[in-house]
Amino acid sequence: MTVTTTKVSRNGQVVIPKEIRDRLGLRPGDSLVAADVGGRIVLSPARKEALKEEFDGLMAEFDRKLRGLRLPEGEVVRIVRRVRRGR
């Protein structure tokens, strides 16, 4: 694991150190997912595999929550929103 410091520019930009960019294979124009995780900023490459993994996790959570239930559409929407927020 590489730990280093960087600064936030006036425009809110942050430079990802070259060593980390190289190790993760990041190229100019690549997209990142930014998340606030317990007060920490987590950046992850927005790759199809990562999105599929997140989707599969959501579907597994839906399966656990909804197994055997017959719920009205509004209740399903409420559960989906709660799972998306991580509750």
pLDDT at 68 over 60: yes
For the domain with range 1-46, which CATH number is right: 2.30.29.30, 2.10.260.10, 3.20.20.80, 3.40.50.2000?
2.10.260.10
What is the β-pairing status of strands 40-45 and 32-37? Answer: antiparallel
DSSP structure string for the chain: -------B-TTS-BPPPHHHHHHHT--TT--EEEEEETTEEEEEE--HHHHHHHHHHHHHHHHHHHTT----HHHHHHHHHHHHTT-
Q: What is the pLDDT of residues 20-51, one digit of tens each?
A: 999 988 999 888 888 888 888 888 888 777 67
Question: Domain residue spans in the chain?
Answer: 1-46, 49-84
pTM: predicted TM-score of the whole model, two decimal places: 0.50
Q: What integer best gives the mean pLDDT of the chain?
A: 84
